[in-house]
């Protein structure tokens, strides 16, 4: 069984990695215009408060009911079943058609079906793998069956504390409604009932931030490692070139990864979530600026000095180093399970990042929400070189050569007892019926794309009316704060999930 990282290019030095990544950045059509000053800055960008400013100015209406239309010296780009990401003619999946210049009108623009490689009959390997067969990418179960992942995020009995009241409505509902003398017993009862509910609604995967210790006993599951140790809300940047970073990755691999290396119910590992790779809502800085600001004694600062005035080439080098260090650490502790990527932000990811990821990961994961038009306009105004997320993430597939999994998306409605006023940039549907219809349209788009192998809904229960830790107060749940399901939504989900690509083959 071929591995992506273990035993591959272990003799590569930092200088090899840096040189190869720089050559890739400088020698491909991903090279961005030189907009930078000598210090690596990108001029005339909005500050990191632009989303809040837009909301305060009324440019984004929090109550808008409008609805949108339904490289390092890396190992060969192999999936875990010893197959390549190219078709029999040797063409890359990205050669099917260049859609980079498609207009950015949100997540569903025009679409050109890409070439899908052929890896032969699906084969069970004892653990989940990925494989392309008969024009479609699949997860493959340990027994060799096709599997399309329909997942649920943040599915746990703990709920969220209301930042305004200090109360935890959902946890109280679990305590009051499920049998048991202790909290652990009640949580066990909750997990048994919740797994049954999820399966009856057509879900087959436990997603990130969920109680996978309990739910993962009876359902396939995924785990998010937060291997970098950064706070995604702040977007701080570690020195990915440092020994301290490598040591942290090795520690996470020993403590979290190794104990589950033999579990066939585990699909794979998310390395991180929504990392910052430059300008976004958390900071106006490029990574080159961040690294040049590090102490002169740090390895990352020394590398950054070589790329002054070339922020995009430096970004390629940093991303290559990140994926090398993290995936080698995980593979050393667990050669059996898939690496599922970093849950990139669909509308704010530079192409250098998925390009660097492609040779190392088995699946590239993307958080892909629908947004109000004002957000797309604000991002476009920043004049960044973000990868076009239109055409249903087709360019992510073309750049990585890896199957794509959507790892966060959701819809909300004003027909709920939470206000759904924050974040301001998501549409709010007037009724639960319209929310369900939006879900159906989104899901049908996913099912129709042969390179998409799963989609994970955010989240199990509604956020608190007074806001969670970061102020979010949205109707994202399958159930409300009292653990009661949104009937129209889950009925629609049940019907549409029965049409998932793997179930269509049954």
| pLDDT given at position 208 | 98
Give the model confidence (pLDDT) of 204-219 as tens digits: 999 999 999 999 999 9
* 342 occurs within a structural domain: yes
Helices 243-252 and 311-333: crossing angle in degrees, nearest 10, is 40
Query: What's the number of domains the chain is made of?
Result: 1
Question: Domain of 303: which CATH number?
Answer: 3.20.20
| pLDDT given at position 110 | 73
| pLDDT given at position 109 | 56
* 456 occurs within a structural domain: yes
Please provide the DSSP assignment of 103-157 as one string: ---SS-----PPP-----S----SS-EEEEETTEEEEE-TTS-EE-EEEESS--T
* 162 occurs within a structural domain: no
Neighbours of 425 (CB within 10 A): 22
Give the model confidence (pLDDT) of 435-466 as tens digits: 999 999 999 999 999 999 999 999 999 999 99
Neighbours of 297 (CB within 10 A): 7
Choose among 267, 264, 263, 193: nearest CA to 456.
267
* 191 occurs within a structural domain: no
Neighbour-count burial for 362-397, b at 16+ CB within 10 Å, e otherwise: bbbbbbbbbbbebbbebbeebebbbbbbbbbbbbbb
d(CA 151, CA 205): 4
Choose among 374, 473, 362, 456: nearest CA to 408.
456
* 154 occurs within a structural domain: no
Helix (H) or strand (E) holding 49: none
Give the model confidence (pLDDT) of 375-394 as tens digits: 999 999 999 999 999 999 99
Choose among 450, 348, 459: nearest CA to 392.
450
* 29 occurs within a structural domain: yes
Range of 453's domain? 14-147+221-473
> Which SS3 state, helix, strand or coil, does residue 44 take?
coil
| Alpha carbon separation from 418 to 52, 65, 238, 390, 427 (Å, rounded) | 20, 15, 37, 31, 15
pTM over 0.85: no
* 469 occurs within a structural domain: yes
- Average pLDDT per consecutive 10 residues, the chain (506 residues; last block may be shorter): 27 45 45 33 33 37 33 39 35 36 47 92 97 98 98 98 98 98 98 98 98 97 97 92 98 98 98 96 96 98 98 98 98 98 97 98 98 94 94 96 98 98 97 98 97 98 97 98 98 98 92
* 212 occurs within a structural domain: no
| pLDDT given at position 118 | 97
| Alpha carbon separation from 29 to 19, 24, 33, 60, 385 (Å, rounded) | 18, 9, 11, 34, 12
| pLDDT given at position 506 | 82
Residues 6+ apart with CB under 8 A from 227: 248, 249, 252, 253, 271, 272, 326, 329, 330
Residues 6+ apart with CB under 8 A from 388: 99, 100, 101, 102, 104, 395
| pLDDT given at position 21 | 53
Q: Is the dihedral of CA 301, 307, 310, 314 positive or negative?
A: negative
Strands 412-413, 344-345: pairing kind? unpaired
d(CA 298, CA 294): 7
């Amino acid at each position: 069984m071929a591995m992506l990282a273990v035993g591959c290019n272990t003799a590569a030095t930092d200088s090899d990695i840096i040189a190869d990544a720089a050559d890739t950045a400088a020698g491909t059509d991903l090279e961005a215009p030189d907009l930078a000053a000598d210090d690596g800055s990108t001029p005339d960008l909005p500050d990191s408060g632009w989303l809040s400013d837009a909301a305060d100015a009324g440019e984004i209406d929090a109550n808008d009911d409008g609805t949108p239309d339904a490289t390092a010296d890396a190992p060969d780009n192999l999936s875990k079943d010893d197959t390549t990401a190219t078709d029999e003619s040797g063409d890359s999946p990205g050669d099917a058609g260049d859609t980079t210049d498609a207009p950015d009108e949100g997540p569903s623009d025009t679409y050109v079906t890409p070439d899908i490689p052929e890896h032969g009959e699906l084969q069970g390997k004892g653990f989940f793998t990925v494989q392309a067969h008969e024009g479609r990418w699949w997860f493959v179960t340990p027994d060799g069956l096709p599997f399309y992942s329909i997942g649920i995020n943040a599915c746990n009995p703990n709920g969220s504390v209301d930042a305004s009241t200090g109360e935890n409505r959902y946890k109280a509902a679990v305590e009051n409604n499920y049998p048991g003398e202790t909290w652990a017993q009640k949580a066990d009862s909750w997990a048994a009932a919740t797994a049954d509910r999820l399966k009856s609604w057509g879900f087959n995967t436990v997603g990130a931030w969920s109680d996978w210790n309990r739910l993962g006993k009876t359902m396939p599951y995924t785990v998010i490692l937060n291997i970098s140790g950064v706070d995604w809300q702040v977007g701080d940047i570690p020195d990915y070139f440092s020994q301290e970073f490598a040591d942290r990755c090795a520690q996470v691999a020993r403590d979290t990864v190794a104990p589950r290396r033999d579990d066939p119910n585990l699909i794979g590992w998310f390395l991180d979530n929504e990392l910052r790779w430059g300008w976004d809502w958390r900071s106006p800085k490029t990574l080159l600026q961040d690294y040049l600001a590090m102490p002169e004694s740090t390895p990352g600062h020394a590398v950054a000095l070589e790329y002054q005035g070339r922020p995009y080439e430096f970004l390629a080098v940093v991303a290559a180093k990140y994926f090398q260090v993290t995936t080698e650490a995980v593979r050393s502790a667990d050669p059996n399970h898939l690496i599922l990527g970093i849950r990139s932000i669909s509308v704010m990811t530079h192409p250098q990042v998925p390009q660097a990821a492609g040779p190392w990961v088995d699946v590239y994961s993307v958080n892909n929400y629908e947004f109000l038009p004002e957000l797309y306009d604000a991002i476009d105004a920043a004049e960044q070189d973000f990868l076009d997320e239109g055409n249903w993430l087709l360019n992510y597939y073309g750049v990585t050569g890896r199957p794509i999994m959507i790892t966060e998306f959701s819809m909300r409605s004003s027909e709920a007892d939470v206000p759904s006023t924050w974040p301001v940039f998501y549409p709010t549907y007037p009724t639960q019926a319209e929310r369900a219809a939006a879900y159906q349209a989104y899901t049908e788009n996913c099912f129709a794309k042969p390179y998409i192998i799963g989609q994970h809904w955010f989240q199990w229960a509604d956020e608190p009316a007074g806001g969670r830790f970061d102020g979010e107060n949205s109707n994202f749940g399958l159930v409300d704060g009292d653990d009661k399901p949104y009937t129209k939504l889950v009925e629609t989900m049940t019907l549409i999930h029965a049409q998932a690509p793997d179930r269509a083959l049954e």
